[in-house]
Structure 1
Amino acid sequence: MSDRYIDFANSALGHRLVGALGLPSPVRLERWEAGRLRPVEGALLIGGGPLSQNVSAFANKLTEQIYSYGPEPLVAQAWIPGHGPKLKAVVFDASDLVQTDQLKQLREFFQPLMKNLDHSAHLVIFGRAPETLSDPFAASAQRALEGFSRSLAKELRSGGTLQLLYVGAGAEGQLEGALRFFLSPKSAYVSGQVVRLNTCDTQVQDWTRPLAGRTALVTGAARGIGASIAETLARDGAQVVLLDVPPAKTDLDALAARLGGHSITLDICAEDAAAQLIEQLPNGIDIVVHNAGITRDKTLANMTPEFWDAVLAVNLNAPQVLTKALLDSGTLHDNGRVILLASISGIAGNRGQTNYAASKAGLIGLAQAWAPLLGARGISINAVAPGFIETQMTARIPFALREAGRRMSSLGQGGLPQDVAEAVAWLAQPGSGAVSGQALRVCGQSVLGA
């Protein structure tokens, strides 16, 4: 669905008028395109503490233009404010900031960069998870990074994004995989997020096809976000198994044929759904993406039992039952990946969606509760929480509410199904077992929630 306001705001006349009236001025985001060779196409700046040394060791795999900035340059090319190139990507290690007076390094490093960022620049800050630190002052300083990063993300312009990665002890080997996502257009609609990286024994072997040799099941795959997820997983090398309800069989079969996968038509709420599913997966799977979901919106005063029950059954109970069956039967292999499609409604709530928000919050709770139990088998489980995504469903929202949903984010626009799919594909990678029990928002840093 076309966003006519963005088209207008980026026209010659619209740009002048929007600026004169002080209206939102969203830009077209840069997204990943087929044939791209490197995560960063432009200048990468590295600075800060000891983890920046780890980044400099593989930086040439991210881009050919590598610069350092600070009192002790990490690489030969020093970046000079106002004289160096526009920056496409920035990494700053703040993990060694343990006192309040050291936090001034954040201002000293980032302030000169703010007017020297390229279009759709991606920034990442490293820290240490406060709950892992025994020194209260150090924990306080590291927790301060969250307020700084979320606020700075809202000050970025021209499609810029910023994330905070808390890097656990021994997780340094997973930095490349995380930066390949967060410094690239694959994370175009992810901003202001806090992600915890922990240790993981598995690694990506081929970055051109990071999911090669793995089989992925996607529910609700016939159209919309589910179809985009299936396409992206297949692009990254996965063999895809697509599942949807019987009425969607024609679209499902056509997509499966195009992607070289196979389809399963199944009512996931049926009593024997788990048994049917396992029977149709004789070789097992490595990835399961619970994308299937429905809405039945009504204020609670007008909510019928049928509306309540249907949403909870499809959105929450089915993923619980099916995942447990896949685990208990061994159909989901060790070192597998489980991704649950939640929503920012499950984080911030939404009027008229008590049933939907409850189901999506339940998925986030499921990921948090199951993560430590599944970790023994090397299995990760995470939730992806989309915000306003341009789909057929959001196209039916009344105009005023649709425009509000688009503009109420730092990026000032709705996301695309591809944005959700890229986040799912990253969490599905072998090395992304470093992330588990977390909810990653794909919402352009929506003002709703945290």
Structure 2
Amino acid sequence: MSDLYFKLINTSLGQTAANTLGLPAPIPLRRLKRVDQPFIEGDVLLGAGGGGKLISEVGRILGASAATLYHASGDKRLVDSAKAGNRTKPMVLPLSKPGNFSALVFDASGIKTPGELSAIYQFFHASIKSLTQNGRVLVLGQPVKICRKPAHAAAQQALDGFVRSIAKEIGNKGATANLLRVTTGAQNNLNSSLRFFLSAKSAYVSGQVAQIDKSTSAAASNPVAPLTGKLALVTGAARGIGLAIAQTLSRDGATVIGVDLPAARQELQQQMQSLKGHALALDITEADTPQLIATFIEQHGGLDLLIHNAGLTRDKTLGNMPEQSWDAAIHVNLTAAMAITERIQRHELLHANGRIVCLSSVSGIAGNRGQSNYAAAKSGLIGYVQAEARQLKNGTTINAVAPGFIETKMTDAMPIAVREAGRRINSLSQGGQPVDVAETVSWFCSPGSGGLNGNVVRVCGQSLLGA
């Protein structure tokens, strides 16, 4: 079901009504239109606080883009912004006239005291009003856990509150703000994340924090099809988010094995055939399914990407929930994913530098009335991801994606009041699309994303639930 309010509010009459009555006025989000689309275009302003450790790498990466680059100048607190390199031009702050920036990128990795946070204030105070619709704000900092002094930890932790607040202020432009925490020595792993967060692929990802650690993974040799030669397995692939994931991984070069219930066999086969992939009609909760999957993977020479997307809801308040509804939600959403992963690992079928991505949910972070079973399972997946991340070897990573309100057949079936609330209670005032989740999964799967391990990123437009 389409969002009729969104369509109405983006007419001239609807815009007038929104301005007069103070109604939410969601902006159409810019999403990827073609595979060779530049990840960033237009004017981009770069800045850095004193001692910024990442600004030169940011300048190098963006220097190869289609964007016109500027670095902040005119304030001694921002003097290290010039380290962005000779591909950038100086831009004196405050601006003499309004700018038109498609992205604002600030390296806060060198900020060590609360007083030094004035640099980030100065940079964004002078530029934030010049951010375009569908613009991007990206702040880079350090993991708080590596900060030895309390003042250093306080300054770096402050970036979380700052970025999440900025995201709420610019959401009415369809713009996003996110924070990347980069471990010392991990700057070589910045490329894929910088490209993702500044691109149209991250349209519905805002107010999020991701951490990049050191790894030995290499950047993709083909930026248009970075997953070329990879074999991916996606559960729940016949429709909805799972199908979007399969389509996006295929677009990026992977061969996809789609898994779904026997009842969806015909639909699954049609979809996988269109992607030149493989269909496996299996119930993932059956005891023999993990071995059947492992055998199929072995016949194809091993797996590179494992995506646990299959999900199920059996909603009831706890006092009215039959035990079979509890068991079904736990088994489909949590236990089956663990069992399949364990069997693939036992047979050593996941190649070196493999990727595992689990689909959690905002419900697993914030909880949801009538979903104690589903929320418990999706929260359990987060715990599983974070524990498994500490044990994986050979460059393999595991991360979680937690969707919020995504426009699917399941959300179409919601009562209208619940559906409209789900769409509006986020900073972008609209529901996301299945492709938004799929793009985030593909980012985690990139060969250049080896520094991302144990992360949980919400695809929710910065939902107020669990914020």
Bigger drift between 214-223 and 3-12 goes to 3-12
1:349 aligns with 2:367: yes
1:219 aligns with 2:235: yes
The answer as to whether partners of 2:244 and 2:435 remain within 8 angstroms in 1 is yes
**What TM-score results when the alignment is normalised by the length of structure 1?**
0.98
> 1:25 deviation in Å?
1.0
Q: Deviations over 1:53-95 (max 9, x none)?
A: 1111121323231111134434442235254641111210011
Q: How many angstroms apart in 2 are the aligned matches of 1:122 and 1:273?
A: 43
Q: How many angstroms apart in 2 are the aligned matches of 1:393 and 1:222?
A: 14
Q: Deviations over 1:156-191 (max 9, x none)?
A: 031110111110012101111111100001000000
Q: How many angstroms apart in 1 are the aligned matches of 2:223 and 2:63?
A: 14
> 1:148 deviation in Å?
0.7
Quote the residue 1:128 is aligned against. 142
The answer as to whether partners of 1:66 and 1:77 remain within 8 angstroms in 2 is yes
The answer as to whether partners of 2:202 and 2:440 remain within 8 angstroms in 1 is yes
The answer as to whether partners of 1:123 and 1:161 remain within 8 angstroms in 2 is yes
Quote the residue 1:266 is aligned against. 282
* Structure 2: unaligned runs, 5 residues or longer: none
Amino acid at match of 1:79: M
Q: How many angstroms apart in 1 are the aligned matches of 2:229 and 2:64?
A: 23
| 1:143-182 mapped onto 2 (5 Å cutoff) | 143-156=157-170, 157-182=172-197
Bigger drift between 414-423 and 114-123 goes to 114-123
Quote the residue 2:381 is aligned against. 363
**What TM-score results when the alignment is normalised by the length of structure 2?**
0.94
* Structure 1: unaligned runs, 5 residues or longer: none
| 1:165-314 mapped onto 2 (5 Å cutoff) | 165-203=180-218, 204-281=220-297, 282=299, 283-314=301-332
1:21 aligns with 2:21: yes
Q: How many residues align?
A: 449
Helix, strand or coil: the match of 1:314? helix
2:391 to 359, 365, 373: 373
The answer as to whether partners of 1:208 and 1:236 remain within 8 angstroms in 2 is yes
The answer as to whether partners of 1:386 and 1:442 remain within 8 angstroms in 2 is yes
Q: How many angstroms apart in 2 are the aligned matches of 1:128 and 1:140?
A: 11
The answer as to whether partners of 2:229 and 2:255 remain within 8 angstroms in 1 is yes
Amino acid at match of 2:137: L
> 1:33 deviation in Å?
1.1
2:69 to 66, 71, 76: 66
Amino acid at match of 1:444: G
Amino acid at match of 2:275: L
Give the % identical residues. 45
Amino acid at match of 1:410: S
Q: How many angstroms apart in 2 are the aligned matches of 1:423 and 1:394?
A: 20
> 1:105 deviation in Å?
1.2
Helix, strand or coil: the match of 1:325? helix
The answer as to whether partners of 2:318 and 2:372 remain within 8 angstroms in 1 is yes
The answer as to whether partners of 1:38 and 1:61 remain within 8 angstroms in 2 is no
Quote the residue 2:355 is aligned against. 337
Q: Deviations over 1:328-350 (max 9, x none)?
A: 10111121100000000000000
Q: How many angstroms apart in 2 are the aligned matches of 1:320 and 1:134?
A: 36
Q: How many angstroms apart in 2 are the aligned matches of 1:147 and 1:84?
A: 26
| 1:429-444 mapped onto 2 (5 Å cutoff) | 429-444=446-461
The answer as to whether partners of 1:43 and 1:63 remain within 8 angstroms in 2 is no
Q: How many angstroms apart in 2 are the aligned matches of 1:272 and 1:200?
A: 35
Q: Deviations over 1:93-134 (max 9, x none)?
A: 011111111111111000121211111001110101111111
Q: How many angstroms apart in 1 are the aligned matches of 2:16 and 2:90?
A: 36
Q: How many angstroms apart in 1 are the aligned matches of 2:422 and 2:288?
A: 39
Q: How many angstroms apart in 2 are the aligned matches of 1:38 and 1:253?
A: 33
CA-atom RMSD in angstroms: 1.2
Moved over 6 A (4+): none
Helix, strand or coil: the match of 1:166? strand
The answer as to whether partners of 1:91 and 1:123 remain within 8 angstroms in 2 is yes
1:117 to 131, 137, 142: 131
